[in-house]
Amino acid sequence: MSQTTGSGEVAVVGVTKRFGETTAVKELSLTIPHGSYCCLLGPSGCGKTTILRMIAGHEKPSSGDIRIGGQSVIGLPQVQRGTAMMFQSYALFPHRSVLDNVAFALKMRGVGLADRHAKARELIEKVQLEKFADRLPGQLSGGQQQRVALARALITNPRVLLLDEPLSALDEFLRLRMRGELRRVQKELGITFVHVTHTQLEAIAVADMVVVMAQGHIEQAASARDIFVAPRNAYVARFVGGQNVLSGSVESTMNGVAAVAGRNGARYAIPVGDQRPMRGSPLWGSIRRDRVAIEKIAPGAKPSTGLNAVVGEVHTLENQGTYVKVTLDLANDEEFVAHVPDDSFFAQPLDIGERVVARWSASDVKLLDDALIASDSAPAGAVMATAR
């Protein structure tokens, strides 16, 4: 039986990939530990599929090295790499049963019928499709076909499974179920999964390690929790979502906290640790949407703001079940978002068009490293909400 052994640590070492004039991946280095679930996350065209294809051996780097288990795999066929790929289109053979679809790769490797069916049944059990082993793919739901594709990819005992947008063809309900399944199977097998997605919450939900990419390079590679609660810069904060980005110019710094002047009189306290930013220099911070409190303004009253508060008009209200997403239009035409727990929201509901103060605590603000922000930086003084 075909068996790949050895560590599933994947190292991308100083890799550049050019397609003619386009540089899809630029001097990128990344180590994905053995047995971890890694998501490559980024907008369309940022190079994530190209990285996956280079790990799989479908593309060759223009320069740099790809190592699996410490060994360079450049030029090696997939069988010797110990990788397998699962695609968003399941590409199952329509006239073969589930059992034969799953067993197919072993047939190609010359494994006898009894052995390959035994192994296929083992995997069919792992993805909980025992009852469907004799069906044709056309007799299965989308979610079941997806499980067949997973079992089929795993039959060669890969040490690294590469998943290219594996859930994008499923409806919302199945997507949520299947992502839990992927995570469960990955933990059970203990092999490395590298999963490409442009869906932030999918990455946060399944991954041990999330790699946020932009234009062929990495903006941040960290645990899913850190990516969400401690984004490194404004790009990651905005792309991953769940944050408002604050910026302005430094007025003064005292006891590790900078007072920053934003646009339209807004002022923020941004913790800077032992850094001493120069007066007048731009500074960036982020505040989680669920750490922002909304206060109503009594008719005719002049709101008191001070540090860490902005005044805005309610633009949209979206009930998300456990919280309500409140989007404010600020005086400077920027957006600001608060996630208000459902209990507090419905105790004192807001109306669209109502003027409110959004307030937060200085201790919840995180410093962003604006030096890392690429060309998409906003002008100092802007308050930017994240995209979603």
Residues near ligand ATP (CB under 6 A) are 19, 22, 24, 42, 44-50, 198
Min. distance of Cβ 164 from ligand ATP in angstroms? 8
Pairing relationship of beta strands 217-223 and 209-214 according to DSSP bridges: antiparallel
Min. distance of Cβ 237 from ligand ATP in angstroms? 20
Residue 20, token pair as written in the block? 């003619």
Give whichever of 18 and 121 is closer to ligand ATP, judged by the CB atom. Answer: 18
H or E, element range at 345? helix 342-347
> How many angstroms separate the CA atoms of 338 and 227, rounded?
19
Min. distance of Cβ 166 from ligand ATP in angstroms? 13
Give whichever of 236 and 356 is closer to ligand ATP, judged by the CB atom. Answer: 236
Give whichever of 22 and 316 is closer to ligand ATP, judged by the CB atom. Answer: 22
CB contact set of 242 (below 8 Å; sequence gap of 6+) = 228, 288, 289, 290, 386
Min. distance of Cβ 173 from ligand ATP in angstroms? 23
Pairing relationship of beta strands 63-68 and 160-164 according to DSSP bridges: unpaired
User: Can you point out the beta strands (E) in 320-386?
Assistant: 323-330, 335-341, 355-359, 366-368, 383-385
Residue type, 366: K
Min. distance of Cβ 23 from ligand ATP in angstroms? 8
Residue 229, token pair as written in the block? 């609660």
- Give the total residue count for the chain: 388
Give whichever of 47 and 262 is closer to ligand ATP, judged by the CB atom. Answer: 47
Give whichever of 213 and 246 is closer to ligand ATP, judged by the CB atom. Answer: 213
Going by C-alpha positions, the residue among 8, 332, 378, 343 that lies closest to residue 194 is 8
For the purposes of burial, counting CB atoms within 10 Å of the CB of 358, is it exposed (0-12), middle (13-18) or buried (19 or more)? buried
Give whichever of 40 and 328 is closer to ligand ATP, judged by the CB atom. Answer: 40
Min. distance of Cβ 160 from ligand ATP in angstroms? 18
- Write down the residue that tokens 């640790």 correspond to: 273
- The DSSP symbol for 157 reads -
Min. distance of Cβ 323 from ligand ATP in angstroms? 29
Give whichever of 21 and 171 is closer to ligand ATP, judged by the CB atom. Answer: 21
